[in-house]
Amino acid sequence: MKIRRMASLKTADEFKNYLRENNITLPFAENTAALNTPCQLEGKTIGNRLAILPMEGWDCTSNGHPTDLVRRRWGNFGRSGAKLIWGGEAAAVRMDGRANPHQLLINADTLPDIADLRQLLVQTHKEHYGRTDDLLVGLQLTHSGRFASPHELKKREPVILYHHPLLDKKIGIAADYPVITDDEIARLEEDYIRAAELAYQAGFDFVDIKHCHGYLGHEFLSAVERPGKYGGSLGNRTRFCSEIVQGIKAKTPGIGIGVRLSAFDFLPFQPGADGKGEPIKYDGYYPYGFGGDGTGTGIDLAEPILFLKKLLSLGVKLVCITAGSPYYNPHIQRPALFPPVDAYQPPEDPLVGTARLINTTAALKKAVPELTVIGSGYSYLQEWLPNVAAGVVAGGEADFVGYGRQVLSYPEFATDVLNGKTLKKNKICRTFSDCTTAPRLGLVSGCFPLDEYYQGLPDYACLACSKKAGEKRIITAKPFSPHS
Ligand SMILES: Cc1cc2nc3c(=O)[nH]c(=O)nc-3n(C[C@H](O)[C@H](O)[C@H](O)COP(=O)(O)O)c2cc1C
């Protein structure tokens, strides 16, 4: 497999020929006008079809307050020109749910700062675009489950629903490690319901009950072997989500509810002898991949469709589709040419992963057209993102196109696309994955290759030294302290 760099596909014909030669199917519109069309959602008109996906930065204080780096990022989300801000970034609903000691936390103490953060985003948007009545801003609510490291970066404090034969080993969870009880789950639901109330007080239009990327919400969906009322049948595995949605509707009827869903999942991948990713060997039927067909690398959307229909029946109108997990199969979620430090060389052309996500999202939108669907994983498309995105929207394959890494390197990407400007090539994300490598090393996240602001941080030197030496740890002195 010879992967061509996207930047070398200089004309639309070259791009389309490359897709054809590699049997990759993606929509493509010559004209990007579809992205400028408004979208109606429950009486509100949202100004365009671009969305900013949640992008955390591992840069909050140790007690979960935003820092200047977080404020800068959210200001950039507002400046982007996209009219839907899906979640901002993951905010843990309680301390033990944080994925890292610098994750945002939502509670009574952090509420004023989080309200200011939203206000900063909205104000920045207003200064650039003159209006905000057509802007929709949500907050993503999370508990990190088996990937929780709330106090120390290298110390996992997992909260698990069941023992997973491969992930337990990968993370170092002992066979007798306790699983969360049904009573504790009921208490956790209360935390989500309270967090949604706080998010409403902070002015957010909606909350996202995160069900993706291997975190706790997502783990419920694959808890096929868990006994009791939260495991086994699909009804039981989606009970956590249903009860939270019902609780929020009862307590805070004014706030909208969305769900970000990993709609399919594969086996965990690891580097093979040649460094390329390959699935960890697993004999027989693999039941732990929600939306999987049992082979570990195939898709069956029957359950995801039933889940989406259930969400609709509960009054949830917004869903954002993603896949897999950044911890064990990042190539299906954030296709990249250059892997992060803890991953593997691409096992497929990243365009294959991009198309898999886009086409799966289209199938889900077709199956449940009443939902407003946001797609993910477009950044790898680089120069061709606008045309593919416009093709998706024009064809009704998603209502919004969401992107993440591109907003870090090129904050005004959306506005340039929407205004038909020539894209600034030196700002386009080339998927170097430093935004993931840096936090894996204990540094803050950001676009180190292209955002000069990050090149001025001490973290930049730490990252550069560690990468040069091929290290998987920091080998230089003190990184930036988000506390300062
Ligand atoms: C640095 C970084 C931070 C992220 N933070 C979050 C997050 O807080 N919540 C979430 O659901 N996804 C998060 N993601 C995943 C993105 O939202 C998105 O799904 C992924 O990057 C693929 O989209 P893209 O190709 O446009 O980057 C993060 C990804 C990266 C690279």
Q: Indicate if ligand 1 lies below 6 Å from the C-beta of 431.
A: no
| This model's pTM is above 0.85 | yes
Nearest ligand 1 atom to the CA of 433 is 31
Quote the ligand 1 centre to 360 CA distance (angstroms).
Answer: 18
Separation of alpha carbons 208 and 256, rounded Å: 9
Q: What is the pLDDT of residues 415-452, one digit of tens each?
A: 999 999 999 999 999 999 999 999 998 899 999 999 99
Probe ligand 1: pick from 6, 26, 55, 436, max atoms within 8 Å of CB?
A: 55
Q: Check if the beta carbon of residue 54 is closer than 8 Å to that of residue 86.
A: yes
How does the average pLDDT of the chain come out, rounded?
Answer: 96
Neighbouring residues of 116: CB distance < 8 A, sequence distance ≥ 6: 66
Give the CA distances from residue 52 to residues 25, 49, 98, 270, 466, in Å, rounded to whole numbers and listed in that order. Answer: 24, 10, 22, 29, 30
Quote the ligand 1 centre to 227 CA distance (angstroms).
Answer: 32
Nearest ligand 1 atom to the CA of 435 is 1
Which pLDDT value is given to residue 66? Answer: 98
Probe ligand 1: pick from 405, 429, 434, max atoms within 8 Å of CB?
A: 405
Of 138-142, 220-224, 429-433, 472-476, minimum mean pLDDT range: 472-476
Probe ligand 1: pick from 6, 26, 52, 53, max atoms within 8 Å of CB?
A: 53
Q: Check if the beta carbon of residue 441 is closer than 8 Å to that of residue 461.
A: no
Neighbouring residues of 25: CB distance < 8 A, sequence distance ≥ 6: 19, 355, 359
Q: Is the pLDDT of residue 91 over 70?
A: yes
Number of H helices, E strands in the chain: 16, 14
Separation of alpha carbons 58 and 37, rounded Å: 34
Q: What average pLDDT does range 60-84 have in this prediction?
A: 97
Quote the ligand 1 centre to 176 CA distance (angstroms).
Answer: 33
Quote the ligand 1 centre to 405 CA distance (angstroms).
Answer: 7
Which pLDDT value is given to residue 473? Answer: 66
Protein residue with its CA nearest to atom 6 in ligand 1: 55
Nearest ligand 1 atom to the CA of 210 is 11
Q: Indicate if ligand 1 lies below 6 Å from the C-beta of 336.
A: no
Which pLDDT value is given to residue 289? Answer: 98
| Element holding 439 (H helix, E strand) | helix 434-440
Quote the ligand 1 centre to 404 CA distance (angstroms).
Answer: 5
Q: What average pLDDT does range 23-42 have in this prediction?
A: 97
Give the CA distances from residue 361 to residues 17, 323, 341, in Å, rounded to whole numbers and listed in that order. Answer: 23, 10, 28
Which pLDDT value is given to residue 484? Answer: 42
Quote the ligand 1 centre to 366 CA distance (angstroms).
Answer: 24
Q: What is the pLDDT of residues 233-275, one digit of tens each?
A: 999 999 999 999 999 999 999 999 999 999 999 999 999 999 9
Q: Is the pLDDT of residue 140 over 50?
A: yes
Confidence of residue 119 (pLDDT cuts 50, 70, 90): very high
Quote the ligand 1 centre to 418 CA distance (angstroms).
Answer: 22
In this structure, what is the dihedral angle of CA atoms 220, 221, 224, 229, given to the nearest 10 degrees?
Answer: 50
Quote the ligand 1 centre to 228 CA distance (angstroms).
Answer: 33
